[in-house]
Amino acid sequence: MNNENIVKIENLIKRYDQAGVIALDGINLEIKKGEFVSIMGPSGSGKSTLLNMIGALDQADEGSILVSGQNLMEKKDFSSFRSKEIGFIFQLHNLIPNLTASENVQIPMLQTDASDEEMVKRASELLTSVNLGNRKDQVPTKLSGGERQRIAIARALVNHPSIILADEPTGALDSKMGDIILELLRVIHEKENVTLILVTHEEYVAEKADRIISMMDGKITS
Ligand SMILES: Nc1ncnc2c1ncn2[C@@H]1O[C@H](COP(=O)(O)OP(=O)(O)O)[C@@H](O)[C@H]1O
Ligand SMILES: [Mg+2]
């Protein structure tokens, strides 16, 4: 780990005007390259909103946010930033049901200039690394919740992102399967030298990280 900030956020504010909600109320946060941090807080505290800002899925109203050297307050199209820099893992895996595990993993590579052969090979390697090498031609509906989440993890890694954003990745799993997924994320963090930001409302999940950031009512409390 070096000392370079991969995320630097200052006084970030996000309002949902119509709902009269201030989802992020002056966030200041620095995350170092290669860190494993968790963002913990009760439901509605602003965790997902903050994660979506870091992943350029949504834009803030005020403040500044730099991610991998990019100023995300600029008004522009961030799709190439997202596909190169960010791997997303959600609570519900968001896999496409009629595509195979391998095809689902390849989706983010469609935006790169990789050949079909390279995509198939990369998907196969990643599915093997999450212990699904023998399931790569199966569709998600034939697989368990834990297996689907492992496909989602492989998909998040496919373009060698510098940051993985995981929003309640174990929230839909039983605790045993959840532990397997958390252990897998920890191993990936160690092996791939990737920055891992994990959102959770559960303390025992948050504790897997090297640093816990606590949120309440749109603010960071510790
Ligand atoms: N699209 C939206 N429209 C209106 N309010 C929203 C929207 N998304 C989130 N919020 C509100 O913003 C606050 C923070 O939500 P969220 O970031 O989803 O919290 P968490 O992930 O910690 O549960 C909540 O009060 C929520 O109701
Ligand atoms: Mg949330």
Question: Would you state the pLDDT for residue 3?
Answer: 74
Of 169, 2, 201, 206, the C-alpha closest to 87 is 169
Q: Note the pLDDT tens digit of each residue in 98-109.
A: 999 999 999 999
Q: List the 86-89 sheet strands across, edge first.
A: 86-89, 163-167, 195-200, 36-40, 211-216, 219-220
Mean pLDDT of the chain: 94
> Is residue 44 in contact with ligand 1, taking CB distance under 6 Å?
yes
Q: Is the pLDDT of residue 1 over 60?
A: no
Per-residue confidence band for 17, with pLDDT thresholds at 50, 70 and 90: confident
Can you list the domains of the chain with their CATH numbers? 5-220 (3.40.50.300)
Q: Note the pLDDT tens digit of each residue in 161-197.
A: 999 999 999 998 899 989 999 999 999 999 988 999 9
- Where helices occur in 31-157 by DSSP H, the ranges are 47-54, 79-85, 101-106, 116-129, 145-157
Distance between CA atoms of 109 and 81, rounded to whole angstroms?
A: 13
Distance between CA atoms of 188 and 221, rounded to whole angstroms?
A: 29
Distance between CA atoms of 91 and 199, rounded to whole angstroms?
A: 10
Mutate to test the pocket of ligand 1, among 38, 43, 48, 49 (most ligand atoms within 8 A of CB): 49
Q: Ligand 1, residue 45: give the atom nearest the CA.
A: 22
Q: Which DSSP letter does residue 141 get?
A: G
Span 118-138, average pLDDT: 95
User: pTM, whole model, 2 decimals?
Assistant: 0.94
Question: Would you state the pLDDT for residue 135?
Answer: 96
Nearest 10 degrees: Cα torsion 68, 12, 52, 213: 90
Of 143, 49, 71, the C-alpha closest to 102 is 143
Span 85-103, average pLDDT: 93
Ligand 1, atom 6, lies closest to the CA of 16
